[in-house]
Chain A
Amino acid sequence: MAILEVQNLVKNFGSLQVLKGIDFETEKGQVTAILGPSGSGKSTFIRCLNRLEKITSGKISIDNEVLADTQDGKVVYAPEKEARRICGKTGMVFQSFNLFPHMTVIDNITAAPITVQKRSQAEAEETAAELLKRVGLLEKAKQYPSSLSGGQQQRVAIARALALKPEILFFDEPTSALDPELTGEVLRVIRDLAAEHMTMLIVTHEIEFALGVADRVVFMDGGHIVESGTADALINHPKNERTRAFLNRMHEV
């Protein structure tokens, strides 16, 4: 059963067409890595899925509920409250972490469950403590994000997204802003989530990581999904010329 369904998704920024008709589906528990050169529309694609960008046309359904659809060439979104509830089934981890700097680590994690999901403070804190333990940062609970390393901040950001118990988690280059020696600790957390069958969509440039963690890899270029397949098929035996060229360039660096 598809937990996320995207049909013919088009996104324009003014006169620039960035997504040129994306069709995409993911099953519950599936881990998808999205590869592609810079500017190919990877970020825009996942930002469309949780309304950080408004789509130009196409259809998006999450957990069999329609978030946006196109009728007579016009996009219709679910009403604001509905749309917020539907998108509530997704979580997002950003390249630049985007933790709330005025809140302690634990408050960063409990804030949304309390404010958005109306959970009790006690329940939210219990969940947060478990999550912090899972990402190995329980002892940092009372600190502010500014005193954490980038890798630690990103792990808190993952815990923050998980605290809302999302059905599907989006990652937009979660390690690209990190020093190389800090990527490992973040990738390890994502691998653990994959082992627990968390449904994830991960934009990444870490080919080895994608090969290890992803059930499926999608290659994007120029606003299209050019090729997709199992991690092994796409990375080790790419069929498309552009995929091959991209992977060759990645291996060189």
Chain B
Amino acid sequence: MDFLAENWAHVVEWFSYSGRILPSLLQGGKITLLVFALTLVLSLPLGLVFGLMRISKIPPLRWIASAYIWVLRGTPLLLQLYFVYYGLPSMGLTLEAIPSAVVAFTLNYSAYFAEIYRGGIQSIDRGQYEAAKALGYTGGQTMWKIIIPQTLSRIIPPITNETITLVKDTALITSISISELLRAAKGAVNRDLDTTAFLLAAILYLFFTLILTIIFKFTEKRFSRHIRRES
């Protein structure tokens, strides 16, 4: 208590400083959130397309998907980001910084999601396909109504992991001069010679990943109702 009393003025000063820089951090946080959300919304379905191509009966589709996944998982995301932002203009396609980030992240994450979907689909027993076929389901109906719904409880945990990695990977876009959360924090630190902004940024990232974890846990439960839990 003595310590608190002696340093009371500092504590008050710290909170009032934090309050002053928070709006600019939240402004950056909005950009982070935007890139995150767009990437997720676009890469989840795109990943499914490549995941299904990857196990297609048509060889060229399989080859294309394999090559795509290999390239995007085998090179650094930062390099892919540079390629889209700095490299594509020389090929006649110029994108603003934020669209570049969304494109690069979407392509990269769709490759990871494709592998998760593929693993999920391939983990389903052959008997499920046979039962569906014996009941007269078409291939498409079997996939959408029988197979994919069963993969959900299995793919949500790895998708959660990737999504949390995505939150943190958004910090990379600071390198193409996007004013996202990390850049906003760094700006405040450089200007005020005070590292408080980094701490606040960390808290914001943590808050964000915590919310995501809770949402995914809830979703996982929802899709695991059919699995009997041994008590």
Contact = CB atoms under 8 A, between A and B. Distances in A.
Interface of A: 50-52, 84, 87-88, 90-92, 94, 96, 98-103, 111-112, 115-117, 144-147, 160-161, 164
B133 A102 contact: no
A117 B136 CA distance: 9
B150 A115 contact: no
Residues of B contacting A: mostly: helix
Contacts of B153: 102
Given A144-B226, A146-B226, A147-B228, A101 B134 contact: no
A145 B128 CA distance: 13
B130 A102 contact: no
A88 B128 CA distance: 17
Contact of A94 (B127, B141, B146, B226): B127
A96 B127 contact: yes
B217 interface: no
Contacts of A87: 134, 136
Given A87-B136, A116-B137, A100 B131 contact: yes
A50 B228 contact: no
B136 A84 contact: yes
Contacts of A117: 136
A112 B141 CA distance: 10
Contact of B136 (A94, A98, A112, A147): A112
Interface in B185-231: 223, 225-228
5 contacts: A52-B130, A100-B146, A116-B141, A117-B136, A161-B134
Interface residues of B, number: 22
Contacts of B127: 94, 96, 98
Residues of A contacting B: mostly: loop
A161 B133 CA distance: 12
B60 interface: no
A87 B138 CA distance: 12
Given A87-B136, A116-B136, A144-B228, A98 B131 contact: yes
B226 A115 contact: no
A84 B150 contact: no
A88 B130 contact: no
B83 to A, nearest CB: 41
Contacts of A116: 135-137, 141
A101 B146 CA distance: 9
Q: Which 7 A-B pairs have the closest CB atoms?
A: A98-B131, A92-B134, A112-B135, A98-B127, A116-B136, A146-B228, A144-B226
Contacts of A115: 137, 141, 145
B66 to A, nearest CB: 26
Contacts of A103: 226
Contacts of B227: 101, 146
B149 interface: yes
A92 B153 CA distance: 28
Nearest to B136: A116
A146 B141 CA distance: 23
B69 to A, nearest CB: 27
